[in-house]
Amino acid sequence: MKPVEWNRTRVLVTGASSGIGREIALQLAAEGASLALVARREDRLRALATEVEADHGVTAVPVPVDLSEPGAATAIRDHLAGTPLDPPDVIVLNAGIGDTAELAELPVDRVGAVVDVNVRTHAELARLYLPSMIERRAGGILAIASMAGLQPVPYMALYGASKAFLVSLCEALHHEVRDYGVRVTCVCPGPVRTDFFDANAMKVDSELLAKASDPGNVATFAIDAFERNGSVSIPTFAARVMSWIPRILPRWLSGRLALRVMRQRMRAAESEAASGRGD
């Protein structure tokens, strides 16, 4: 498989307005990649596009699309049609939403939104752009999933299940397209210091946040994993050790342990919120 040359490579990044997606965009722009920046927040996308064009002299196109809307993937394709970024050589499937709650408590439309963003739109983007990658025998998919996709996570059941879909999809595609010279890599970080928790009103305690990874470091790891054509890659040693627990233990026991841990974390988060953390 040919080495990755980012200079003049066309890269589409979902969830590019903040966190890991923004860091991946910045790091690839520094390597000379042209960028299609996808997210809901148009003001942030335009600011990021201006920044990378000024700092690195690359093309950066804001693509303000809500990935939870029907037809989001085709809207992205149509937005890029006829531009220098059409078709992307690499797509970074990074956007994600989720909740810390019992599934029975979630509004039905929220269930649909999580599945649409984390599952449907990303699967459709892969379907839309894989044929051109296969034809060129180059390019690929870099997906940012989560450790939550590697085991059952009570109180994050929907989020974890959606990320498990992404892990399974990418792992299968990795083997499906590698003989064409196309890379597919899925990265599963643990907690990362981004605005994901606040944006999704997720219950997180300070101890967990203190152990969270830096998004820039996760972005660097993810790009390296893609260049190495890793299948499923986990950024930190501690997370890799944790990933073996559900493989070793019976699934019922792994689920019970996860339930206990999540209950403790939710209680700690609620206690900290009640005491005015951050005031």
Average pLDDT over residues 156-160: 95
User: pLDDT confidence of 200, banded at 50, 70, 90?
Assistant: very low
| Cβ neighbours for 275, distance < 8 A, ≥ 6 positions apart | none
CB atoms inside a 10 Å sphere around CB 152: 19
- Determine contact, residues 98/150, Cβ cutoff 8 Å: no
Does a structural domain hold residue 104? yes
Place of tokens 């201006």: 50
Does a structural domain hold residue 145? yes
Is the bond preceding 87 in cis, omega lying within 30 degrees of 0? yes
**What are the structure tokens assigned to 191, written together?**
């907690």
| Catalytic residue check, 159 | yes
How confident is the model over 89-139, as pLDDT tens digits? 999 999 999 998 999 999 999 999 999 999 999 999 999 999 999 999 999
Place of tokens 């300070």: 206
CATH assignment at residue 56: 3.40.50.720
Q: Which of 101, 103, 118 is nearest to 262 (CA)?
A: 101
- For residue 208, give its domain range: 10-274
Q: Which of 223, 264, 239 is nearest to 5 (CA)?
A: 223
The rounded distance, in Å, linking the Cα atoms of 147 and 153 is 10
Considering its fold, how many domains does the chain have in total?
A: 1
Does a structural domain hold residue 1? no
How confident is the model over 209-247, as pLDDT tens digits? 666 789 999 999 999 999 999 999 998 777 777 777 777
Does a structural domain hold residue 88? yes
Classified as helix, coil or strand, 247 is helix
Rg of the chain over Cα atoms, rounded to whole angstroms, equals 19
Does a structural domain hold residue 164? yes
Q: Which of 129, 155, 159, 180 is catalytic?
A: 159
Does a structural domain hold residue 205? yes
pLDDT at 278: 46
Does a structural domain hold residue 246? yes
Average pLDDT, the chain: 90
Question: What percentage of the chain has pLDDT greater than the value 70?
Answer: 91
Helix (DSSP H) and strand (DSSP E) numbers for the chain: 11, 7
